[in-house]
Each structure stands twice: as C-alpha cells, then as structure tokens.
Amino acid sequence: MPEIETGVALVRRLLSGQFPHWADLPIRPVSSYGTDHDIFRLGDRLAVRLPRPGGVGQAAKEAEWLPRFAPHLPLAVPEQLAMGQPAEGFPFEWSVCEWLPGEDANGTIDDLEQVAADLAAFVMALHKFDVTGAHPRLPGNRGCPLAEGDEAVRRSIAELGDRIDGEVTLRLWEESLNAPVWDDPEVWVHGDLLPGNLIVIDGRLSAVIDFGGLNVGDPACDLLPAWNVFTGASRQRFRAELALDDATWLRGRGWALCQALPALSCYWDTNLGMVRQASRALAEVLADGPSALRQLRAQQLAGRVAG
C-alpha cells in the first residue's frame, strides 16, 4: 500500500470537519523515526496521530483496550480522546490523544537498573490481564511462534550481505528458533517495547506508548528491551525481575533478531534512526554471551554504524 502524504494543512482540515472545537489550536509536526504514524502536536496537551499503512486499525484497537488496561498498569498509557473517520483524501481512521510529556528512552535514562525494574513491573501487569475477548492474532504478528518469522529473518540476513556477520547471526537465530515453544496460556503482549515507545521524565520511566503490536501470544516478544534498551547488569536485572526461564529468554533474543534484521534490511538507506536502533540491538545480541568472537563482531558492527 503506498504512503499517504500528510501535513499540517491536512490535519487542520480533518479537525475542522470533525472536531471543530480543536481546529484553531496550534499544530506542529513531531519528528520521529517511527514507521506507523505521522504525529502532530495539537496545542500543548494533545496529539493527532495519522496512521501510515502499517498503523491502520491501531486507533480502534487502542480505543477498545487501553481504557481497560490503564487502571491496572504501573505506568501511564495513551488516553484517546476522539477517533476520526476517513475524510479529506485521508483513507484511514485516525485519533486525537492526550500528549504524554517527556522524552523517549534513547539516551535519556539515568538509572538503567531502576528502569529495568519499572519496565518489568509494567510487563508483568500487562501479561496478567484477562485475555477474554481478545481478537485472533494474525499470522506473523507479535506474539506468534518464532517459526512464523523464519522466512523474513533469513531473507533479511541474505539481503544485508556483508553489512552484518550473517554466519554468526544465523546461528544465533537458529538457536532461538529451536528453543522450546511457549505452551502455556497466551498472554497480552505490547509487542513493540522499543526505546521510541518508552517515555522518560527526569531520567525515570513514566509511560509506555504505541500499542500497535498489541496481541495475545508468547510473552517472549516483550523482551525486546533486554537488547534494545538494557545492557550488562540492567539486562540481568530485567530478566531477574521477570523470573524468566532459559527457553523464554532464548526466544526473547530471537524476537530481538526478528525485529532488528528486517528493519535493517528495509530501512538501511532511508531511516537512519531505525537503523541505529536495530544495529544496536543486533550488536547487543552478538555480544550477549561468553564468546570473544561474538564480542568482536559486535564491536565491528557498532564501529561501522557509528562511522
């Protein structure tokens, strides 16, 4: 599906036609390397989210579930105030939400171990929420068995060629792929706990946003922060707080690869922010073990990206 051109003028027209009481507020675009929405500040307290093709349907999903989750979660989540309908040439449902203050988690955290504990508490609370009424998960979506991502991962490794250490990466992927599958009841998963979706105020985690990956499935996919946010002692704190078994941790590492490798392949020349994030995750996966070779490969990858 082709991208839809958006902008301040379109947002103004949409608001004028559907929510005229907000139409005169200042509108300004928000810079982001996210790929599912174009986001605009609306005054000081609101945000307009216009989905790109990858974010279609998220407004309805968040309207249905976030009000139910919010009272039971230890961190703030977005509050949707209105859902707009297709109009003015824009073909998708869109939303007006409360603006959550703060910065994303890219380099803004003061105490990684404390944030590891705080985020683990959020993950555990979400995973405990009753799944009754959840919509069926589509094949390949977050929370699915890792095997459903196998083709995309192998294709991405091949497409990246010598930009990564394909041999080591493939071996690590196959280790995760061969881990025991999740055979307990499926749980709610956020599915996209990346730095851009974690909001920090004064160095402390305050909110989690962007529930486009919300599904019911294997909790291992919510271990993305272990390699995208944490390192060393904070990674171990995250694992300890969640009391994870080896199989779930290994599948979580596979999910880090399942997210990072297609992102690198798809956005290498078009989205530097996404490439930096995915490269960091891949480097952390390669270094997450006793092998000196893995550490060397991780350092080489980090050096290429920084250069």
Q: Do 40 and 126 share a domain, yes or no?
A: no
Q: Do 113 and 92 share a domain, yes or no?
A: no
Domain termination residue (choose one: 59, 78, 100)? 100
φ/ψ (deg, to 5) at 268: -50, -40
pLDDT at 114: 96
Residue 21 counted as domain residue: yes
More confident residue, 22 or 53: 22
Distances (CA, A) of 142 to 38, 94, 123, 172, 236: 22, 22, 15, 20, 23
Which of the four pLDDT bands, split at 50, 70 and 90, describes residue 203? very high
DSSP 100: P
d(CA 21, CA 137): 37
Q: Do 210 and 301 share a domain, yes or no?
A: yes
Domain termination residue (choose one: 100, 116, 146)? 100
CATH number at residue 41: 3.30.200.20
Q: Across residues 30-45, what is the average pLDDT?
A: 91
Q: Do 25 and 126 share a domain, yes or no?
A: no
pLDDT at 1: 54
Bridge partners (DSSP) of residue 216 are 188
32 residue type, one letter: S
- Structural domain that includes position 217: 104-306
Q: Across residues 6-25, what is the average pLDDT?
A: 97
The total of structural domains in the chain comes to 2
pLDDT at 164: 95
Sole residue written with tokens 């004064």: 202
Residue 294 counted as domain residue: yes
Convert the pLDDT of each residue in 73-117 to its tens digit: 999 999 999 999 999 999 999 999 999 999 999 888 989 999 999
Q: Do 160 and 281 share a domain, yes or no?
A: yes
What is the end-to-end Cα distance of the chain in Å, rounded? 34
Residue 134 counted as domain residue: yes
Q: Do 173 and 281 share a domain, yes or no?
A: yes
Q: Do 128 and 210 share a domain, yes or no?
A: yes
Q: State what percent of residues in the chain have pLDDT above 70.
A: 93
Q: Do 295 and 163 share a domain, yes or no?
A: yes
Sole residue written with tokens 């962007």: 210
pLDDT at 21: 98
pLDDT at 301: 57
Q: Do 86 and 19 share a domain, yes or no?
A: yes
Residue 150 counted as domain residue: yes
Bridge partners (DSSP) of residue 248 are none
Convert the pLDDT of each residue in 211-234 to its tens digit: 999 999 999 999 999 999 999 999
Q: Across residues 36-65, what is the average pLDDT?
A: 94
Say how many C-beta atoms besides its own lie within 10 A of residue 104's C-beta.
Answer: 17
d(CA 211, CA 121): 17
Q: State what percent of residues in the chain have pLDDT above 90.
A: 87
Residue 193 counted as domain residue: yes
**pLDDT averaged over every residue in the chain:** 92
pLDDT at 33: 81
Which of the four pLDDT bands, split at 50, 70 and 90, describes residue 294? very low
Residue 3 counted as domain residue: no
pLDDT at 302: 58
Domain termination residue (choose one: 42, 67, 100)? 100
pLDDT at 36: 87
pLDDT at 295: 46
Q: Do 147 and 119 share a domain, yes or no?
A: yes
Residue 2 counted as domain residue: no
Residue 244 counted as domain residue: yes
Q: Do 139 and 85 share a domain, yes or no?
A: no
Q: Which of 45-59, 132-146, 169-183, 283-297 has the lowest mean pLDDT?
A: 283-297
Distances (CA, A) of 52 to 3, 32, 101, 208, 234: 6, 13, 23, 20, 34
CATH number at residue 158: 3.90.1200.10
Convert the pLDDT of each residue in 169-189 to its tens digit: 999 999 999 999 999 999 999
Q: Do 73 and 37 share a domain, yes or no?
A: yes
